[in-house]
Structure 1
Amino acid sequence: MLEDTAPPRVEDAEPTRAPREAPLPRLALKPVRAAGNAYSALFSSHIDRGRFDVVEFDWEGLGAKAYDVVVFHWPTEFFRPTSRKATLKLLAKMARDKLRGTKFVWVAHNLEPHDGGSMRSHATALMFTALLDGVIYLSRSSREEARRLYPPLRRTRELVTVHGRYDAARPPRPTTADAWANRLLFFGTVRRYKNAARLVAAARGVTAEPFSLTVIGTADDPALAAEIKAAAGEDPRIRIDIRDAFIGEDELERVVDAHDLVVLPYRNILNSGVALHALGRNKPILAPRIGSLPELQWEVGADWVRLFDGEISTEALEACLAAPLPGTPAPDLADFAWPKIGAEISAFLAALRRR
């Protein structure tokens, strides 16, 4: 005969514990956001927060397994180090974390910094690229050039996406023939490779009427700012506004909207945020036939992306002004929308993490 057993009282029962959720992988971005460049903030804000705990990268965490994935946007330290000895120490810390499972990714905005640091160091650049687990390219042409310069990248997992557009709260004005007045604009950080002085000199020779050029931006090189102002001479059609502080987003939108075409007279370029910023405000661009710009022209159309060969010149400006206006009031930038790009990047980083 079975002995009767009283059911356990509720207070005596073993409590039911909810399964503990594993912490999300720590994704460190260098940087999460940057002054004067909206790209990094757009990048970070479109990472899937259901997959990653996004944090700001700190050099103190390198070598201490503080992060699961590290994404470098502009790793100047490895391409143009101020101290090669200090950079070698950083590379050793990267190698230590890599052995512990940290994944390292480079967003290849440029194949080397345009300025900054004190020396070129192809050796440390090669060591850095050899330690990478993934590369995010913003164009197919940049991938091919990166592989040529840095052979270790030929064996690295990669994502080829596009440079996302810059959207704003205030919708841009459509481009229309009745409002066109040959108002040209150069904007952004003013550096020597961007060739603003030569643009200004070329603009003085333009005979089209009406015509004007505005150069607006920030510069930390007083000699360069003076050179650009001197190139303008007394030409009343040319306005130079070079400042010490970054231009606010609202003011920059108003400035872009007040012009008809944005000129990129750069001597070298790989990918261009200025180009996407201008196109996002429905402004066609004039740019050199280098880097990823021919690819951008193929994607957006030759009436929106107008290219010249060689250096910027009066002839290139006048040929652009003589060309027909874009056939649509706005370019088709659907493929440059950030939700799509963010989903691609998040999936790529998650797949790297699982390897």
Structure 2
Amino acid sequence: MTTLRVLTSHREPRATTNPYITMLTSALRRTPGVEVVTFTGRAALLGRYDVVHLHWPETITGLGGRRLAGRVVRWLLAALLLLRLTVTRTPVVRTVHNVGLPADAGPAQRLLLRWFDRLTTHRIVLNDRTECPGPVTTIPHGHYRDWYTGPRSATVPGRFQYVGLVRRYKGVEGLVEAFRAVPDADVSLEVAGAASTPELAATITGLADGDPRVTLRFAFLSDDELVSAITAAELVVLPYRFMHNSGTVLAALSLDRPVLVPDTPVNADLAAEVGPGWIHTFTDDLTADDLTRALDAARAPRAASPDLGAREWDDAGQAHLDVYRAALARTRPAGRTAEVPA
């Protein structure tokens, strides 16, 4: 069959790239029948490709850019790309990582993001609970067993661990408050990950002040540091106020550590998938009782590793290619390629 050229919304993976993107790009490049073209302005506007695959389209529109001039350039690039996709009827595949528009998107970005949504031909969701319009295919988020291979720590008895970017919606303030109410002197909590703002870091520091059982490490974690932090824990705690998809849950499970997460249908499905003893849940606001109950449950006998067999990356590569072909079949006759002469 003809090889499809797929333009992705991310640049060539680097050391700091989200591991999900790096591993998916590698899986696609191992899959016969697909050629990955990573994002550059020239490739997007002048290159040859059959399908566009978006992950976080807000990165194309300049969300988070610090300088107005840079954001304006990204807006113009996104608008030109959207015009090209509209004129050439190039199919757009979107992986839905987050539900809804980013809260911090401005008017121009919201306009562009809605335009991307209107052009989307086929959506990929990471779990069956994500509700989307139009054709949808579920391709589960792959595991990280082949990625996080650094040295593991010895388990620290009684260690609760939070890892990942510290943001308001992730509920780290509530975790610290709940932990401080745990009376056991032999437990500990570490929060490890870069804070989204200095103000948030200061708030959490104030909440933890005076409790020597709490360690705060507000810094970006390398892969080896993340492995060390997760494997030192008896229980990884992700106290999010809202959780739909979480790569951090899969990172913990890939490293054979149980997790405490909000009680949601998605997490209930994951608990059934990976086997008993790995996913523990809480409802409403996290409490000290939730922490102690989950720690006791995590100490019960369980399998040596969770079942992540449904999350192999080679399976994901072929599944993505099937979606690309379906999207192309819906929009253009076979053999027609979107091309703008360079």
Specify if TM > 0.5.
Answer: yes
Which segments of 5 or more consecutive residues in structure 1 lack a partner in the other structure? Answer: 1-20, 148-152
Question: 1:300·1:333 contact (CA, 8 Å) conserved in 2?
Answer: yes
Structure with the greater alpha carbon radius of gyration = 1
Question: 1:219·1:225 contact (CA, 8 Å) conserved in 2?
Answer: yes
Q: Kindly indicate whether residue 140 of structure 2 is the aligned counterpart of residue 162 of structure 1.
A: yes
Which segments of 5 or more consecutive residues in structure 2 lack a partner in the other structure? Answer: 65-70, 331-342
**Residue aligned with 2:218, SS:** strand
Question: 1:306·1:320 contact (CA, 8 Å) conserved in 2?
Answer: yes
Deviations 1:188-242 (A, max 9, x none): 1111111111111111111235211100011241111111111111211110000
Q: Kindly indicate whether residue 277 of structure 2 is the aligned counterpart of residue 303 of structure 1.
A: yes
Q: Which amino acid aligns with 2:35?
A: D
Distance, in Å, in 2 between the alignment partners of 1:289 and 1:78 is: 33
Match of 1:38 in 2: 19
Distance, in Å, in 2 between the alignment partners of 1:254 and 1:92 is: 45
C-alpha distance 130-184 of structure 1, shift in aligned 2 (>3 A) = same
Distance, in Å, in 1 between the alignment partners of 2:208 and 2:310 is: 38
**Residue aligned with 1:40, SS:** helix
Question: 1:80·1:117 contact (CA, 8 Å) conserved in 2?
Answer: no
User: When the two structures are aligned, how many residues end up with a matched partner?
Assistant: 319
C-alpha distance 209-81 of structure 1, shift in aligned 2 (>3 A) = closer
| Structure 1 residues 271-282: aligned runs within 5 Å | 271-282=245-256
Q: Which amino acid aligns with 1:216?
A: A
C-alpha distance 277-86 of structure 1, shift in aligned 2 (>3 A) = closer
Question: 1:196·1:228 contact (CA, 8 Å) conserved in 2?
Answer: yes
| Structure 1 residues 101-250: aligned runs within 5 Å | 101-112=89-100, 116-118=104-106, 125-142=113-130, 144=131, 147=132, 153=133, 155=134, 157-167=135-145, 168=147, 170=149, 181-208=157-184, 210-243=186-219, 246-250=220-224
Question: 2:51·2:328 contact (CA, 8 Å) conserved in 1?
Answer: yes
Match of 2:337 in 1: none
Distance, in Å, in 2 between the alignment partners of 1:165 and 1:85 is: 36
Distance, in Å, in 2 between the alignment partners of 1:213 and 1:110 is: 28
| Cα root mean square deviation, aligned | 3.2
Deviations 1:15-49 (A, max 9, x none): xxxxxx97x43211121436352111111110145
Give the TM-score normalised by structure 1. Answer: 0.79
Match of 1:347 in 2: 322
Moved more, 85-94 or 131-140: 85-94
Question: 2:93·2:327 contact (CA, 8 Å) conserved in 1?
Answer: no
Distance, in Å, in 2 between the alignment partners of 1:292 and 1:107 is: 17
Match of 1:150 in 2: none
Distance, in Å, in 2 between the alignment partners of 1:46 and 1:75 is: 21
Match of 1:7 in 2: none
Identical aligned pairs, as a percentage?
A: 29
Distance, in Å, in 1 between the alignment partners of 2:106 and 2:285 is: 27
C-alpha distance 210-120 of structure 1, shift in aligned 2 (>3 A) = farther
**Residue aligned with 1:240, SS:** strand
Q: Kindly indicate whether residue 336 of structure 2 is the aligned counterpart of residue 336 of structure 1.
A: no
| Structure with more relative contact order (C-alpha pairs < 8 Å, separation 6 or more) | 2
Match of 1:52 in 2: 34
Give 1:283 shift. 0.5
Question: 1:29·1:44 contact (CA, 8 Å) conserved in 2?
Answer: no
Question: 1:77·1:117 contact (CA, 8 Å) conserved in 2?
Answer: no
